[in-house]
Amino acid sequence: MVTALPPNTLAETPDLLAVLRERFPQDVLETTRRPGLLGRVVLRPEAILPVCRYLRDEQTFAHCAMVGGVDWKETREVVYHLWSDERKGYLELSLRVPAEDPHVESVAGLWPGANWHEREAWDLLGIRFDHHPDLRRLFLPEGYEFHPLLKTFELHEPEPLEVKTRHE
In terms of C-beta density within 10 A (0-12 exposed, 13-18 middle, 19 or more buried), how is residue 9 classed?
Answer: exposed
pLDDT in tens, 19-40: 999 999 999 999 999 899 999 9
- Domain assignment present for 31: yes
Task: Give me the pLDDT at residue 167, please.
Answer: 65
Least confident residue range of 8-12, 24-28, 75-79: 8-12
- Domain assignment present for 32: yes
Strand segments, DSSP code E, in 12-108 are 28-32, 39-43, 63-71, 75-84, 89-98, 103-105
Task: Give me the pLDDT at residue 65, please.
Answer: 98
Domain count of the chain? 1
pLDDT in tens, 151-168: 988 777 767 767 666 665
Query: Which residue type, as a one-letter code, is found at position 29?
Result: L
- Residue 96, classed as helix, strand or coil, is strand
Strands 63-71 and 75-84: antiparallel
Task: Give me the pLDDT at residue 17, please.
Answer: 96
pLDDT in tens, 97-129: 999 999 999 999 999 999 999 999 999 999 999
What's the CATH code of the domain at 65?
3.30.460.80
Q: pLDDT class for 145, splitting at 50, 70, 90?
A: confident
Q: Nearest 5°: phi and psi at 95?
A: -150, 155
- Domain assignment present for 160: no
- Domain assignment present for 50: yes
Domain of 13, in residue numbers: 7-130
**154 vs 11 pLDDT, higher one:** 154
Q: Average pLDDT for residues 147-152, to the nearest whole number?
A: 92
pLDDT in tens, 58-70: 999 999 999 999 9
- Domain assignment present for 141: no
Q: pLDDT class for 14, splitting at 50, 70, 90?
A: low
C-alpha torsion angle, residues 30, 79, 69, 27 (rounded to 10): 50
Asked whether residue 4 carries a pLDDT value surpassing 90, the answer given is no
- H or E segment at 123? helix 114-125
- Domain assignment present for 165: no
